[in-house]
Structure 1
């Protein structure tokens, strides 16, 4: 299979380590990965702000960059959900692209069907379940449903040698980032973030991980302002560790 690596703009600019770990992890698993160098923003920030009608050029460029791949993989649940649900353009029919795009843990679980990993991370880790991943992509079960529990990111993390996934009181609570929500509703966003961080700290986390660096960036800012030694890491960096 030919896989195109889609790296969101904020990951490219602020957390390139997450992008590199994603590439290395896929290559370790024998995947033929290509990074189209002309990719830019997928258009999600504009769409979230009410300006989806201005995302046409982003859509067309995305289609141009990724139409030739069997799969498109990205280390970001929110950007993947945007492409799945909102990508449209004149360059190509919508259906030929949208069904090809996968969030990293979704791809590892559903397409590659990974059963083991050569990774080692001997630390206490709290897993943040981002809203887009959980409620949009269904990467993990929602606790309000009376249904069997599952977690694609959690199952992969449990394959890592030495890791201790800590319990949380409210494991699927929003961190408050919410894209442009953190700008429009700053005070509410910060309070939600502090509550989310406090849950991890209460249970002794050394690291907080997740599938979206945007959520982790929000919590990292709060941790830094509190003078905490707890670090954030994208899940790809843990699955690729050791």
Structure 2
């Protein structure tokens, strides 16, 4: 029954049969990606994830009351070679409304150029951004759609900035989210946090009060280190198999 199918199967089976436009977008993305790869571009996946405070502290907030807690946004990138040798960033989401690191993507592109040469930088398209795309662009069958700017919560990714460093920027359409290995890496990071947060926690009692101090930066760093180059090769190989399946099945 469809409601018991995994999200991946729902994307591949149900959407591919009943949503021709989205399937066409995925095929256009894959064909563009393969063309760039054949031209010598290495593939790098760039993205972000949110880490709510409750995930780090283990606090149960399912009591029916809505309590707005701090959320951190982690920005990083990786590919088949492992994590990009670039210092990932951690932002408090409240601060993102006040300031945004405009030079961050330029810095990232420069680091990637020095480490790998020319790359195709894949960024997952936010669903609301895809919905704001003009209808004629969404239905176009020709050239793959590349927005002027791909906006993440913490950073603006500009194709012109990527080109200035010899790279190409590709937007991964929202129907193809399962073709982004970063999603699996973020899930592994969050499971590491859940399973190991007590090891990075310090407790103290003072005048009848109990305090909890979590070594957040160290916890995140260790979680990222656990996803080593070998695991990244496995993740990207799995994505590659799905790409081959999709191209062979629907081209």
Greater strand content: 2
TM-score, scaled to structure 1 = 0.30
- Higher-Rg member (1/2): 2
Greater relative contact order structure (CA < 8 Å, 6+ sep) = 2
TM-score, scaled to structure 2 = 0.29
